[in-house]
Every structure is written in C-alpha cells, then in structure tokens.
Amino acid sequence: MVVIPQPKLPLCWGHRGASADFPENTLASFESAARAGADGIETDVHITSDDYILMFHDPELGRTTQGGRGCINDQPYKGNIEFLKTSKVPRQQLPTFDQTINWLVRPENSHVTLHLDLKANNPPERLFALMRRALARHADWERTLGPRIILGIWHPAFMQHAVKILPDLKRCYIGIEITLASDPTFWENCHAFSIAYPILASSSGQAFLKQCKEARKEVYTWTLNRQEEWVESAAWGVDVVMTDKPLEYLAFRKQMEESNHSLQPDDPWFAWKNYIYYWPALYVFRLMIWRRLERLGGPLRPYLSNNINPPRSLVPKQEQ
C-alpha cells in the first residue's frame, strides 16, 4: 500500500498578535501568541511626527485607543501618544518599533518571525531609514535579526527604498491584486506573497498560487479564523496562515498532525454561504483597495510595467 504524504501544515502567524484575546498590536498580544507557540507575528507600522515608529493598524488613533484622536503621522509620540492606552481590556500602551525589536531579541522569542505590514501613507524613505537606525542599535543585527524580519509592501513606491536602505531584510507583497503581485516590481524583488484568503480562493488566485509554487515563492494568506479555512489553506499548500486566534489554530493544527489529518473541510460548501467569496464582492474589494492605495501612496502605474490591468471602472474612459 502506497502512503501519500500529507502536505506540511501552514505555519501560524498571529495577526496583530493574539488579537482575538488581547488588544491588537500590543506587546501583550505578541507575547500571548509567542508563548502559545506561534511561529510569527504580523503587525503594522506608522510614523509619528517626532520620528517614532508606532505599531498600529489604522492611520488614526480613534478606533482602538481610549481617548486618542487624529492621524498618527501628525502627532508626536513623546508627551502624547506614549500615554495612550487601548480601549480594549486589559488596557495596554501602544508599543514602538524599538520596544517591539527589544521584545523580539529576547532568547525565548528566537523562534518568532516579525512580519511588518507597511502602510502606504508612510513616506517610505523616511520609514526605512528610521527602521535601519533602530535595528543598528543591536549588534550584528543583519545576522541575528535580519532573517526574522519581513517587510510587507502594498505600494510599489516602497520597493526601491526597501532594496536600497534595508537590503538584508526579506520583502513580501501584501494585497489582493494578482496583477500587481505578478508585476516585475514585486515578482522579481519579493520572496513571498501575502494574499487575502477570498482572493486566493478564486480561480486567478489558485493559478497564482500554482505559479508561486513552481517558482519556489512562499505564499501567506489572511485573515483565517475558521476551521474550514485552516483546512482548505493546508490542502492548498500555503506556507503561512495569519489568524486572530493563534491559540485555537495551533491546537487545531496539532490535532490534525496527531490524527493523520484529512485535508477536507467538514462543510465543503462553506464558501458558497458567504458573500465575500462571490465575484461582485471581490470586485468591489479590488476597487476599494486600489483607490485607497493611490489615495495614500500616490498613483500606482508610474512604478509598474505596462501590463497592469486595474479594475475596469478605474481606467480613464479614453483608455477603455
């Protein structure tokens, strides 16, 4: 009897840490995920007006802080943001990049990869220079820290500065637009591609996944919080699952490993029950993200080759 080996189950990266249980993008959230055994942490960055890099998702402070208001880029960290705490309990301070790196270098966290989601509204040259300055405070950082930090890039304007200023760090495309990911700007400069799960589940997403496998490029997917999604992503052979629930995913992954898991979801029709997997929803999703990227980071086309096809309603009428 021939035994067909099961695909290796995806690594677990805590999306903003263990954000289902702790305030997102805080050291407590990172610590919870790491102690549970998460292989990595996904987090976000913004620059304050006094050149601190803040681990925070939104451009503005209001959604997740107690009393915080306004755009992070326009406010100082010292004497201001440093005193804010999260609205979600247990209330936590907002960590800086320096504090996060200090946490990452602890011996007990040597297994943790740090995936940085670089928001498009940050000036890329300034951002990478500040990152390099922070990393340089740690001896031999290129060898000890470099292999464990990934620059997640949405906007192609970031690429040239990443390659120039932080050439020792890995680069990853983040997004939902397969045409952007396939463009040489990203394809030739990234070792991995982080694609939203509903996009990866589409026919174009599956074709791109196959293309990545053939080229030995890694594929990450986000944000998966259901067992059906975990099982299906494992069947696809993705390398990393990002989840708000790393404790649950790790327990489920262990269960699958110990039981000679079957990579079939209990409900094979689960995707048909959710509108986000349907073409109209994906199309609107693409429109929103494309427009947001251009609003925050500037026009995309100047950085890309001529084979890019944006969502059709974004193409000027004279070009249609």
Q: For the chain, which domains are there?
A: 12-315 (3.20.20.190)
Q: What angle do CA 187, 188, 191 make, to 5 degrees?
A: 75
d(CA 222, CA 40): 13
Rg, C-alpha atoms of the chain = 20
Tens digit of each residue's pLDDT (9 = 90 or more) over 102-135: 999 999 999 999 999 999 999 999 999 999 999 9
Specify the pLDDT at position 318: 42
What is the DSSP code string of 167-188?
A: TTSEEEEEES-HHHHHSHHHHT
pTM: 0.91
Residue 34 CA to residue 179 CA, distance in Å, equals: 34
Which parts of the chain sit beneath pLDDT 50? 1-5, 313-320
Identify the CA nearest to 16 among candidates 156, 157, 222, 165.
222
Between helix 27-36 and helix 246-258 the angle, nearest 10°, is 10
**What pLDDT shows up at residue 258?**
82
Between CA 26 and CA 48 the distance in angstroms is 17
Closest CA to 308 of 165, 293, 219: 293
Which tokens hold the place of 19? 């954000």
